[in-house]
Amino acid sequence: MSHSLKNIRIGGKTIPAQAVGFDKDGTLFDAVAYWRYIDRLRLANFVSAAGAEHAVEWSKTMGFYAPDRVDYQGVLALASTQEEIILVAGLLYRLMGWPWPRCREVAGKIFADADDAMTISEAFRPQAGFPDVIPMLKNQGFHVGILTSDSYRRTKACMEQSGVVGILDFLITPEQVERGKPEPDMVHKACSMLGIEPSGMVVVGDSVVDMQMAKKAGAVAVGLVTHEGSRQALSQDADFLIESLREIKVLAPTE
């Protein structure tokens, strides 16, 4: 595949690029629907371990109150799974007074059991424009992949369900880098794999940490506006803002 720059149209602006990296939750999939689903499973496991009287403490820690009251700058919205596990271990230590090794073990089991009980097709609902945007970009010679704070196993399963895993050029998760978002490591790893400069990478995401990751890496930051207040938050770091993945279009060479 050629590594030359090609024109891509994003939100009415023409951008020369070689690759597009997408965040997953909130960008390719409806974040609130996923958070509601996974939080219900994890909370049930937490209550089983710590008692129903501590359910409110769980919600305060995660920054999510069912059915859809979300702290978009909070733990559930932005933290990696490993960060969430450590926070829950700390919560168990404070509430239960267990030895730290037990707290860490129980916290890990809360998340692992929720993952095992998850049905991917129920948890992840595609955003408008996905998965169509992936083959559209690939067919026009762009490298395309995923840059997510979610786990590799779950991300791959989501891509398999969507029918695009076989055409992705990269799938980068926290397990593969030293530092997760908002640090630039994921972008740098993807660019190293592709043999391109970060300036040739367009990063599309719905959160501030996506934009910060892109800017620190030297990539183009495209913010997807998904909720009230996100336009203002994203605009501080984003180069471009869009309201739908359908605003990403490929231009013919003469356009």
pLDDT value of residue 174: 94
What is the total residue count of the chain?
255
Residue 1 forms part of a structural domain: no
* Residue for token pair 């984003």: 238
Question: Quick check: is 216 in a domain?
Answer: yes
**Once rounded to an integer, what is the mean pLDDT over residues 177-196?**
97
Cβ-contact 9, 106 below 8 angstroms = no
Question: Whole-angstrom Cα distance, residue 17 to residue 219?
Answer: 10
> Residue 204 domain-assigned?
yes
Distance of alpha carbon 222 from alpha carbon 210, whole angstroms: 9
CB 29 within 8 A of CB 127: yes
117 and 18 within one domain: no
Same domain as 196, residue 145: yes
Between CA 28 and CA 154 the distance in angstroms is 14
Half-sphere exposure of 137 (CA within 13 A, CB side): 32
CATH of the domain at 200: 3.40.50.1000
Domain enclosing residue 112, as ranges: 32-122
Of 75, 95, 122, at which residue does a domain stop?
122
Rounded to 10°, the helix 81-96/55-62 angle is 140
Are residues 85 and 169 both part of a single domain?
Answer: no
Q: Is residue 162 part of a domain?
A: yes
pLDDT(120) > 90: yes
Give the span between the Cα atoms of 237 and 221, in whole angstroms. Answer: 7
Closest CA to 175 of 143, 202, 153: 153
Chosen domain end from 122, 144, 167: 122
Kindly state whether residues 137 and 244 are assigned to the same domain. yes
Q: Where are the alpha helices (DSSP H) in 23-151?
A: 31-50, 55-62, 75-78, 81-96, 100-117, 120-123, 133-139
- Helices 31-50 and 100-117, axial angle in degrees (round to 10): 130
For residues 210-232, average pLDDT: 96
Does residue 166 belong to any structural domain of this protein?
yes
**157-180 pLDDT, tens digit each:** 999 999 999 999 999 999 999 999
Same domain, 173 and 229: yes
Residue 2 has pLDDT above 60, yes or no: no
What is the DSSP code string of 184-234? SHHHHHHHHHHT--GGGEEEEESSHHHHHHHHHHTPEEEEE--STTHHHHH
Q: What is the mean pLDDT of the chain?
A: 94
Q: Are residues 61 and 129 in the same domain?
A: no
Our count of domains for the chain comes to 2
In a domain, 183, yes or no: yes
Cα–Cα nearest to 113, from 42, 180, 168: 42
Question: Domain check: are 114 and 182 in the same one?
Answer: no
Closest by Cα among 87, 146, 150, 147 to 115: 150
3-class secondary-structure state, position 100:
helix
φ, ψ of residue 163 in degrees (nearest 5)? 80, 20
Q: Is 255 a member of any domain?
A: no
d(C-alpha 36, C-alpha 58), whole Å: 14
Picking from 94, 122, 150, the residue at the C-terminal end of a domain is 122
* Whether residue 87 is found in the same domain as residue 213: no
Residue 111 sits in the same domain as residue 131: no
pLDDT per position as a tens digit, 24-54:
999 999 999 999 999 999 999 999 999 999 9
Position 253 confidence tier, pLDDT thresholds 50, 70, 90: low
Quick one: 21 and 109 in the same domain? no
Strand partners, 205: 223
Q: Model pTM greater than 0.85? A: yes
Same domain, 145 and 112: no
Mean pLDDT within 73-99: 95
In this structure, the answer to whether residues 143 and 198 fall within a common structural domain is yes
